[in-house]
Amino acid sequence: MRIRSLCGIAVCSFVCGCAVLGRQQKDHRIDPEALAKVQRGMSKEEVTNLLGAPQEIIFSNKEHDPLREHAYIFEHVTTVYTGVVFLFMNFGNSDEKRDRVLVFFDESGKVDHVGSSLKAEQASYGFPFGR
């Protein structure tokens, strides 16, 4: 009977459990259509009208114009969490992906060029194993 009880506990520890799925989003998403409208030569105002306020500003730090705005950074972060809890074995996995856009301005304050990575949608649930 004792052996049976121990075996029962071990079996339950294998097969009983629960899964936890979580999703966390930080800041608003970057609209790809609005991003596509950002063109070289646009003013800062036009850029912020399309993409909203930037999360971060990179300043020039130069001696003669230290506060010249060199680039705007727009960012949206999605993190998804997966947890699989067994009685004696727990697996957890988090995957963080970002939408990130950098808009560089020339010395006259016009858009010089744009760099973007829209990857937030690629955040995926899964086991901690594999890629």
Partner 1 sequence: MTLAVLSVAGCHIDVVRGRAGNPLPREEYAKLEEKKTTRSEALDRLGAPEKVEWKNGKDYFWYLYRDGIDTGLRFQFPPFRTFFGYQHTFLRMDEAAADTNAIQLVFDENNVLEHKSLRLPDAYEDPNKPAGQWVFSFDTSAEYSFMMLGDGGVRDFEDIFHKGYRVSGTIGFQPAPVVTILGRFGYERHEGASFDAGNQPASVSDLKLYLFEVGMRLTAPLELLWEFSDYEKVRKVFFEDNAATARGLRLYVEGTTGGAFNDEVGAKINGVKVGALYDRGVQFTGSLGAGLEYVWGWGAAHIQISYQTIDPFDEGNSNIDDDADAFQAVLVGGGLTLRF
Side-chain-side CA neighbours of residue 13 (13 Å): 10
Pick 13 or 49: Cβ nearer partner 1: 13
Q: Which positions from 58 through 117 interact with partner 1, judged by CB under 8 A? A: 58-62, 70-71, 73, 87-98, 100-102, 104, 112-117
Pick 48 or 91: Cβ nearer partner 1: 91
Residue among 121, 101, 120, 119 nearest 111 (CA): 101
Verify binding: residue 57, partner 1, rule CB under 8 A: no
| Least CB distance to partner 1 at residue 92 (A) | 4
CA–CA gap between residue 116 and residue 118 (Å, rounded): 6
Pick 23 or 113: Cβ nearer partner 1: 113
Q: Is 53 left (phi over 0), alpha (psi -120 to 50) or beta?
A: beta
Residue 123 CB partners (closer than 8 Å, separation 6+)? 78, 79, 80, 95, 96, 97
Binding site for partner 1 (CB under 8 A): 1, 3-4, 6-15, 58-62, 70-71, 73, 87-98, 100-102, 104, 112-117, 119, 122, 126-131
